[in-house]
Chains A and B, each alone.
Chain A
């Protein structure tokens, strides 16, 4: 299946963008994972970790809450403050 196109956006910059096989994030109602073929969704995210399983390796960032939108395998994670992008 085609990989997800992921954009991780903070208020002052685009933190990361690329392809991933799976994204998991903590919504206000609990952890959720997004894989290719997910239905279009807008989710409110709680403060916590977002894990992106990129095609070039996993990444983990901490966000202060925000939201996530999925639309035709395009995932946008939006948060005012995004901390610690590591390989």
Chain B
């Protein structure tokens, strides 16, 4: 066998092996993305219940909580960046990092000091590589987030938020995450987590054109205490929603990236197969012409 063919065959073998891996990753991401989307749907009743209760509370009490109060001159801003642990998901992690850089640039331009909080090994290595400081990191399990993770993040963020600014507290906190729109469209987004913007309950007109009046609630033990327990849970719920959305986006991005990798591998295999066939054919042609040439030389020499 000619050296040329051997090289092509070797390439085909190696590309097929890669193709098997990318195909497997594609299928895995595809099946996990379905689970992740169900998880998003299943978290909806909780968020809904919290939001309803909170807006009822906001309409009926005038109590100001530090978590809902805007600071007049915000000087320190926290930025929570949600990325993935692993790569091979196309532009997923870099898209989020780019959006976070944009946000940080904007905050700095407003004269605020930025404190980053990182989720996912990709964000951590991005910051370590550039030798930048960050306040906290959470890594592992970004594909399948747990509620405990959301709670850990929210506890830390609220603790830092409630500390006075002079002691290293934060005046506002933003979240950069990737919003899952559709299987083919995910978008890096910024969301302001704290202080919470209290929007009064939307005054929906029902079928008869009569406005639904929110009932006058009785609070136990009192409105202040209810607000006090509910706000941290609301923050956790929002972080949880972001984590789930980011995980779904990561999987969808990975599935797409692996699909195109598999397609590319297929194309490469086709090209190499053609080249190998051509080389083999050329070898045979050469051998035939050598034999014919040799035979005619023998015949002439007689």
Contacts and interface: CB of A to CB of B under 8 A. Distances in A.
Given A11-B43, A12-B42, A67-B229, A41 B147 contact: no
A52 B143 CA distance: 35
Contacts of B49: 7, 9, 69, 76, 78
Interface stretch (B87-95, B177-185, B220-228): B220-228
Interface string B126-159: 0000000000000000000001001100000000
Interface string A38-62: 0111111000000000000000000
Interface stretch (B100-108, B210-218, B284-292): B210-218
B276 interface: no
B236 A43 contact: no
B226 A44 contact: yes
Size category of the binding interface on chain A: 20 to 34
B25 interface: no
B46 A40 contact: no
B218 A39 contact: yes
B32 interface: no
Contacts of A9: 45-46, 49
Contacts of B52: 69, 76
Interface in B201-250: 215-221, 225-226, 229-230, 233, 236-237, 240
A3 interface: no
Contact of B53 (A12, A28, A67, A80): A67
Contacts of B39: 12
Contacts of B151: 80
A44 B225 contact: yes
A21 interface: no
A69 B53 contact: yes
Interface-central residue, B49, B53, B216, B220, by most chain A CB under 10 Å: B220
A12 B217 contact: no
Nearest to B223: A42
A67 B49 CA distance: 10
B43 A72 contact: no
Interface-central residue, A12, A29, A42, A71, by most chain B CB under 10 Å: A42
B81 interface: no
A45 to B, nearest CB: 9
A28 B218 contact: no
B41 to A, nearest CB: 9
A87 B236 CA distance: 30
B56 interface: yes
B268 interface: no
B50 interface: yes
Given A11-B150, A12-B43, A14-B45, A67 B221 contact: no
Given A28-B225, A40-B216, A81 B230 contact: no
B15 interface: no
A11 B218 contact: no
A44 B220 contact: yes
A66 B233 contact: yes
B57 interface: yes
A80 B39 CA distance: 15
B220 A29 contact: yes
20 contacts: A7-B49, A9-B45, A11-B240, A12-B39, A12-B43, A12-B147, A12-B240, A13-B45, A27-B221, A41-B219, A42-B56, A44-B226, A44-B229, A65-B229, A66-B233, A67-B226, A72-B215, A78-B50, A78-B233, A80-B147
5 tightest A-B contacts by CB?
Answer: A40-B215, A13-B42, A43-B220, A41-B218, A14-B45
